[in-house]
Copies of this chain bind each other. A is one copy, B any other.
Amino acid sequence: MKFQITILGCSAAYPANGLLTTSQVLNINEKYYLIDCGEGTQAQLRKYRVKASKINHIFISHIHGDHILGLPGLIGSFGLLGRVAPLHIYCPEGVKEFVEAFLKYTKVRKLIYPLHFHVHQSTEPTLLLDNEDLTVTTIPMKHDAPTTGFLFQEKERPRNMRKEAIEKYDIPYQQMTAIKNGADFRTATGKVIPNKELTKAGKPSRSFAFCSDTAYTETILPQIKNVDLLYHEATFGDEKLEDIQERNIHSTARQAGQIACQANAKRLIIGHFSPRYKDLEVLLTQAREAFKNTDLAIDGRVFNVK
């Protein structure tokens, strides 16, 4: 079952050095969750062959243009392409109003698909979505606009049958799904066999945390503890540490590494690069000095969680 992130944009503030602004898409089991939607997202989805029609949920971290400017185009194009499936947008205040201004002034033909906005606050972790595959919870960030990251936590996966138990108790095929999901088994003679004798633990559920935009903040650590894949913004390099500590709205690459290390994350990807960095290896090196298993979130790159 897939658990895959595709990076669609990773530049901070405006497109630069051949990179577009923030957007990425999480594919869990061929359901797509879009995270932020910078200008050009709809074109990137096509470029990287992501099936946009399978996006039913969009998560917006904050209202800044480099995270939302692709929304009107994507929403309008869904309409042109005959979308009928509902689209859910989880966003801070203002996003709905901006999108509605687009629909109003450009006189887009009435969308025939339902468009639902779910406004989130950035003050405390909040469950946004809970379906058969995953939960999505906000992670309050430290930025100069109300901002949340998102924790995508896969649902616990079914337990696996023990082969020897199937043979020993002659378990019918029809009962296996229930047993994998934790049921006990009653034999023909009425004896109850407890589930733990019949099954072993399934593959561990996987998790992805998206943390952008944010200053360095340890308050997020409990939420992202042991996360499989962490995306953390890394707008600047070490030489800007003093500046950013003063403004307190962005992180350095090294700080992203420090957060990954303290969270005991398995893997880190850094992004949201200031246009000033034409050579991103500088940022990668600094992050890796704090957390070795780090990569750059360049447009088009795909990261799988096994």
* A binding-site residues for B, Cβ under 8 Å: 13-16, 18, 20, 39-40, 42-43, 46-47, 63-65, 68-70, 72-73, 76-77, 80-81, 94-95, 97-98, 101-102, 105-108, 145
In the bound complex, what is the Cα–Cα distance between A95 and B16 (angstroms)?
Answer: 26
Given known contacts A95-B105, A97-B101, is B73 in contact with A16 (CB within 8 Å)? no
B63 & A105 in contact (Cβ 8 Å cutoff): yes
Verify B39–A108 contact, CB threshold 8 A. no
Query: CA separation between A95 and B15, bound complex, in Å?
Result: 23
Q: How many Å from the CB of A111 to the closest CB on chain B? A: 12
Contact A107–B80 (Cβ < 8 Å): no
The one of B40, B94, B106 in contact with A98, judged by C-beta atoms closer than 8 angstroms, is B106
Instruction: Please state if A65 and B18 are interface contacts (CB–CB under 8 Å).
Output: no
Instruction: Point out the residue from B65, B101, B107 that lies within 8 Å of A101, measured CB to CB.
Output: B101
- State the CA gap A46–B72 with chains docked (Å): 22
Q: A13–B69 contact, CB under 8 A? A: no
Residues of chain B lying within 8 A (CB to CB) of residue A107: 63, 94, 145
CA of A108 to CA of B15 in the docked complex: distance in angstroms? 17
Query: Can you offer 15 A-B residue contacts whose CB atoms are under 8 A?
Result: A13-B80, A15-B46, A16-B46, A20-B43, A39-B43, A63-B107, A64-B106, A65-B102, A65-B108, A68-B106, A69-B69, A69-B72, A95-B105, A98-B102, A101-B102
* Minimum Cβ distance to chain B for residue A75 (Å): 9
Q: Does A73 lie within 8 Å of B80, measured CB to CB?
A: no
Q: Contact at B94–A39, with CB atoms within 8 Å? A: no
Nearest B-chain residue to A13, judged by Cβ:
B80
B42–A14 contact, CB under 8 A? yes
Closest residue to A15 on the B side, CB-wise?
Answer: B43
Q: Please, how many angstroms separate the alpha-carbon atoms of A20 and B76 in the complex?
A: 15
- Given the complex, which residues of B lie within 8 Å of A70, measured CB to CB? 39
Q: Looking at A69, A80, A101, which has the most chain B CB atoms within 10 Å of its CB?
A: A69
Cβ-defined contact, A72 with B65, below 8 A:
yes
In the bound complex, residues from chain B placing their C-beta under 8 Å from that of A94 are 105-107
Additional A-B contact list (13), CB under 8 Å, known A14-B77, A65-B76: A13-B80, A15-B43, A20-B43, A39-B69, A40-B43, A64-B106, A65-B73, A68-B106, A69-B69, A69-B73, A98-B106, A101-B101, A107-B145
